[in-house]
Amino acid sequence: MAETETIAIISQTTVGETEATELETVEAQTQEQITELVKRYFQALADCDIETLNNICETTEAFDADTLTQQTSYIENYQNVDCVVIGGLVEGTYIVYVYYQMKFQYIDTPAPALGQLYVKTDIDGLPYIYMGIIDGELSAYIAEVTAGEQICALAEEVNGELEQARRSDTKLDAFIRVLTGETETKKE
């Protein structure tokens, strides 16, 4: 995925030319707002910024500074954050597939990754990340979207980028093997 490329796929209903143009403007603005939200989220993770995380996330469990520090201690930063946004089941909700690269401490090559977030909008229409319980119909919908052709192709592309990065940087490969618990050396 290119650094400046942003893909937006948001469910919509179009009723005539004028309304379609207004919808597209709202969608572009929503895409931009969500992408900026996600970038703030990853920056807050890298900085262990609990205050920002609490302001942009709704979660059932409070963020713990010690746990967050431990989880991110080996991450220098997150780079090239980009989003694919897909409309949720309810208006103002979105499934966000996030492409990013993790730059680990003391390793030159960043590791490409793909994550998923669920975003809702508040009463003012501003997006926030929802980290609560997702079950039932919503869980089934997210699973269906994730198993869809576009997201599977994106996941395959990111996995290919990661494998290429691992082949090109032995330190990255060794670090990922430790993180994932791989015990055998990868065979070419």
120-167 pLDDT per residue, tens: 999 999 999 999 999 999 999 999 999 999 999 999 999 999 999 999
> Where are the domains positioned within the chain?
7-180
DSSP 153-183: HHHHHHHHHHHHHHHH-HHHHHHHHHHHT--
Share of the chain above pLDDT 70, in %: 83
What is the chain's length? Answer: 188
Closest CA to 7 of 39, 43, 25, 32: 32
| DSSP single-letter state for residue 23 | H
Mean pLDDT of the region 44-49: 94
Question: For 93-121, how does the pLDDT look when each residue is reduced to its tens digit (9 = 90+)?
Answer: 999 999 999 999 999 999 999 999 999 99
Measure the CA–CA gap between 97 and 111, rounded to whole angstroms: 16
pTM for the predicted model, two decimal places: 0.81
The H or E element containing residue 135 is: none
Measure the CA–CA gap between 139 and 99, rounded to whole angstroms: 21
Mean pLDDT of the region 74-88: 94
> 33 exposed, middle or buried (CB, 10 Å; 0-12, 13-18, 19+)?
middle
Looking at domain 7-180, its CATH architecture is: Roll (3.10)
What is the edge-to-edge ordering of all strands in the sheet holding 127-131? 7-8, 75-87, 93-104, 111-121, 127-131, 57-59
